[in-house]
């Protein structure tokens, strides 16, 4: 249903075809942009499970509201807007706090792809993975709106003007959200902000001594 490779219709034509009743058009359109939307949802939500929920919410909303698209922006901008809003709505509703519940196996496919190039240098690959984990952890501490702005501008590289359309706010708001978010991340990631080639080694500072998880065994009760 979502094979988009052979359909040469433009995004706008596909969306209009969907509105006009073409049963396959929306699937083709969504598949065309799915990977980028997934990347945005993943980085905005912070974990694959919530990202899948957010992306699905966004897809349903876009499917049903396609008739409301008036063509002022690009279709992909509109799709990003719908998906990001779905993610933010879900985030606000659930008040997800990924920072406290980050699973150990947080490495997603993007991390694995990025580190694959260092297979012959396991130490470098491990450091890359650790640095990415630190960055994502720090990103997860930001308010959702700041995070979404940074994901779209700094990670995905969209122009500020287009991100302003995606987020439904002024360009100045996007810039200030990005600036505030970067300032906070700079404090959290200060030890990573070193010249290339001087990447710190080892684990981040420990939180403290490891606490025993079970109470010391006492004498058996009489």
Partner 1 sequence: MTQPPDQTPQDPHGLPPEEEAVRRLLADARHDGPTPPEVVARLDATLASLAAERETARTTSTTTTAPVIDLGARRRRMAGIGLLAASAVVVAGVALGPGLPSMQGGSDAGSTAGDAATSQRELSEDSGGGADSGGAESEETGPQNLKSAPTAPEAAYPTLSSDDVDLDDELLSLRAGSQAPDASMATEPQADCDLSGTGRGRRVLAQVDGAVGAVVFRRADGASQQVDLYVCGDPTAVRTLTLPAP
For residues 43 and 152, is the Cβ–Cβ distance under 8 A?
no
For residues 189 and 134, is the Cβ–Cβ distance under 8 A?
yes
- The answer to the question of residue 114 lying near partner 1 (CB under 8 A) is yes
Q: What angle do CA 8, 14, 17 make, to 5 degrees?
A: 125
Per CB under 8 A, the segment of 41-49, 94-102, 197-205, 206-214 that binds partner 1 is 41-49
- The answer to the question of residue 2 lying near partner 1 (CB under 8 A) is yes
Q: Taking the complex as a whole, how short is the minimal distance between the CB of residue 173 and partner 1, in angstroms?
A: 16
The contacts of residue 137 (CB under 8 Å, 6+ apart) are 99, 102
Measure the CA–CA gap between 44 and 88, rounded to whole angstroms. Answer: 8
What is the rounded radius of gyration, in angstroms, for the C-alpha atoms of the chain?
A: 21
- The answer to the question of residue 91 lying near partner 1 (CB under 8 A) is no
Measure the CA–CA gap between 48 and 59, rounded to whole angstroms. Answer: 16
- The answer to the question of residue 179 lying near partner 1 (CB under 8 A) is yes
Site for partner 1 in 195-214 (CB under 8 A): none
- The answer to the question of residue 65 lying near partner 1 (CB under 8 A) is yes
Interface residue with partner 1, options 14, 15, 30, 90 (CB under 8 A): 30
- The answer to the question of residue 132 lying near partner 1 (CB under 8 A) is yes
Interface residue with partner 1, options 14, 55, 83, 142 (CB under 8 A): 55
- The answer to the question of residue 4 lying near partner 1 (CB under 8 A) is no
Instruction: Compare residues 70 and 215 and give the one whose CB is closer to partner 1.
Output: 70
Residue among 134, 170, 165 nearest 152 (CA): 165
- DSSP state, residue 119: T
Measure the CA–CA gap between 64 and 60, rounded to whole angstroms. Answer: 6
For residues 39 and 110, is the Cβ–Cβ distance under 8 A?
yes
Positions touching partner 1 (CB under 8 A) are 1-2, 11, 19-21, 23, 26-27, 30, 34-35, 38-39, 42-43, 48, 51-52, 55-56, 59-61, 63-68, 70, 74-77, 108-110, 112-114, 131-132, 135-136, 139, 150, 153-160, 162, 179, 182-183, 185-186, 189, 192-193
């Amino acid at each position: 249903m979502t094979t988009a490779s052979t359909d040469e219709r433009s995004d706008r034509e596909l969306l209009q075809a969907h509105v006009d009743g073409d049963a396959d058009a929306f699937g083709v359109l969504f598949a065309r942009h799915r990977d980028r939307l997934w990347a945005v949802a993943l980085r905005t939500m912070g974990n694959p499970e919530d990202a899948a929920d957010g992306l699905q919410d966004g897809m349903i909303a876009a499917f049903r509201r396609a008739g409301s698209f008036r063509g002022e922006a690009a279709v992909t901008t509109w799709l990003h807007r719908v998906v990001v809003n779905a993610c933010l709505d879900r985030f606000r509703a659930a008040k997800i706090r990924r920072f406290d519940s980050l699973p150990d196996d947080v490495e997603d496919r993007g991390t694995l792809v990025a580190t694959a190039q260092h297979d012959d240098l396991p130490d470098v690959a491990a450091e890359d993975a650790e640095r990415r984990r630190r960055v994502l952890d720090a990103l997860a501490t930001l308010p959702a709106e700041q995070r979404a702005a940074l994901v779209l501008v700094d990670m995905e590289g969209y122009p500020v003007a287009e991100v302003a359309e995606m987020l439904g706010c002024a360009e100045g708001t996007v810039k200030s959200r990005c600036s505030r978010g970067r300032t906070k991340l700079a404090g959290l990631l200060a030890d990573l902000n070193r010249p290339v080639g001087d990447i710190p080694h080892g684990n981040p500072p420990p939180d403290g001594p490891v606490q025993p998880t079970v109470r010391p065994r006492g004498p058996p009760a009489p």
